[in-house]
Structure 1
Amino acid sequence: MAKYKRQKVKHYHRSFYSREMRVKRGIGIAVLVVAVLAAAWFAAPHVLDWATHTWYTVVKDRDLEAESASRAEAAASSAAASSAAASQAASSEPEPEEEKPLDGKAITGGSWAELDVTALTDDAAIRAAARQLKQQGADYALVTLKDAAGTVYYASGVAAAAQSITENPVDAANIAAILREEGIIPAAQLAAFTDPVSVYTDRSMGVHYDGNSLWLDNVSAAKGGKAWMNPFAASAVQYIGDLIEEVQGMGYEQVVLTGVQFPNIITRKQDFGASGGKSREGRAAQLTADIAAWQTRFAGSVTLWVSYPDALCTAATDALGTTGTSLGMENLLVTSSTELDADSRAALEQAAADAGVQHLVVHDTAAFR
């Protein structure tokens, strides 16, 4: 009987993956790839540094640390040099000068110019006049705010000026302000004792005759006779001082007084209220005292000038009792209708200096300086 030969059976193992398993496997592979790339990203700089360092130190035999320190030192030195150069350039540039405020009391020795106050009616007119003076090189603008006819050209608040104010007063403070803005020093001109109007407001200020009647310099007002203020009257001196104070408050730190005098005619009928009025010496002494009183009152706040025509400065007259240079004023302005020659001007300057006048300005047809 034949033996039965057992057949070998081959077993085959089949891998079976579901859809879920395939997805998980894909995700795992992706994560692994990302991890490898990240590790390479972070390791790359260090590997490159190591490779570079090895190349230069081993192969090229160079000291990289020393070279790096040298480059850093050079960069720092360059930056410091640039900073120093910039600082030096900035310091070498001239700093802009601060504009100094205009000193209204200053006596600069510069030229003067006279403005027609009746034309200074609005800002445009004032500014145009100021700029014209500046172009002409003037340092001072002389603005008449009270004239020899007794007219006051601004709205004065001084009681004795109540009847003297012009019908259309100017804004004196605004005139001064604009002149200063344009670099011009404003100077107010005030007529002192040549005032035929204010004496009717306050009769105590006038020259009298025959009791309380006002003395006129002609036989009657109808024939042109005018009243005069009395330099001996304390009320008259106070009135002029109050006007100076008023215009100073409006911006005029320079004031020019004209008409600081007695009437041109001295007669026996005049009553000055003091016996000294009958002599030249007495009149000169009184004018000197009046000027001294104003200079003392406004010392440090107003630069005060006294102005006379040249005829009153070259010889003694009844109106002053002496020459115009000899009344103790600190600052004198002399006017002349003709051009003074060199000799006349030199003689005037010498007389003023001998009398103690500190500053002299001459206004003639040639110049106002």
Structure 2
Amino acid sequence: MESGDLKIAWARQYMPVLASIRKRFIEEKPFSGMTVGMALHVEAKTAVLVETLAAGGAGVHITGCNPLSTQDDVSAALNTRDRVHSYARRGASVEEYYAAIDRVLDARPAITIDDGMDLIYRIHTERQDVLDSVIGGCEETTTGIHRLRAMARDGALEFPVIAVNDTPMKHFFDNVHGTGESALASIMITTNVLIAGKRFVVAGYGYCGRGLARKARGLGARVIVTEVDPRRALEAHMDGFDVMTMNEAAALGDIFVTTTGNAGIITGQHFPKMKDGAILANAGHFNVEIDVAWLASHADSTVHRDGIDTYMLDGMAVHVLAEGRLVNLATPKGMGHPVEVMDLSFAVQALSAEFIAKHGRDLAPGVHDVPSAIDEEVARLKLAALGLSIDRLTPEQETYMNSWAIGT
């Protein structure tokens, strides 16, 4: 068996929720006759999602959503599957990256599945010829949802998109546990530095940021949080973390990780204040949070090695991991979120895509929440896979919870 197939087989055995959904898809074929276009991180767990959609009758055309997050052997393995075409390649140039997206769109997908909204953006700008083929789409990143909601506000979004990112199952597990563990794992395996005792700066205290902060504290780090939202900043303070501005944190931190999904978080005003040997990484989707261009233009010299770029500024070293791209996938040994976490997120993706296949034509253009029943079904399937049972409301409890007339 080739290395890509081995990786996919390893992931598949830890994804029981998708296995349950795939079994039903094989029988019902909800995507029969449809093409699904995807721009995701092409690695083993994603491959299991692709297999699940193909089992449901879909023709799948997929490419990467980040130039450094593709595992080439997995991409090659996907091209051996029936009805699956992968155009992803690690290290693609910007031109190659968008050429691959265009190849996905040349298949005229009925459903899009995005990680960062690049497919949808391309359809609405350069490839409007595809618009009449698309029933709807799914988006699973915070960054992508921000962009989509901006499109919807401007009246520019031409079809319905399910905000897979915004479900409790995505927030509580993928964002908190997945980002927290995988970002730290990639930082540790890339740098081989100790986390315990370090001043660990987390930019942003959304779901990803709070998960990363908690995991870093669990490893013994002294965690600092920077925020722009006063409520989240207060939450971080009440959770026991130091809260300050990035200007203040810049001089204190040993390791910095951005999780905001916004641009210009660590910039030229911060780098000169940092300690010699400061390590910088990004856990947001796009490489816009750390101003790497400023470092490159101001560095006395630069050393590139194994996922670490070292910039020398007046004799002081600043180390940037994975070119400022998504650290849990773009480092040479980055494996992305843990398998069990992505089993849940991709289960929501699969069921949301099925919802679009069945109901997309009835939805208005815009951003739509994942139906609560889908999120709850994924949770129930996971509990069943774990052999866990939960209570159910009695008829009397349901009456009490739904009544305003019953008092003390």
Q: TM-score range by the shorter chain?
A: under 0.3
Which structure would you say has the larger RCO, counting Cα contacts within 8 Å and 6 or more residues apart?
A: 2
TM-score (norm 2): 0.21
TM-score (norm 1): 0.22
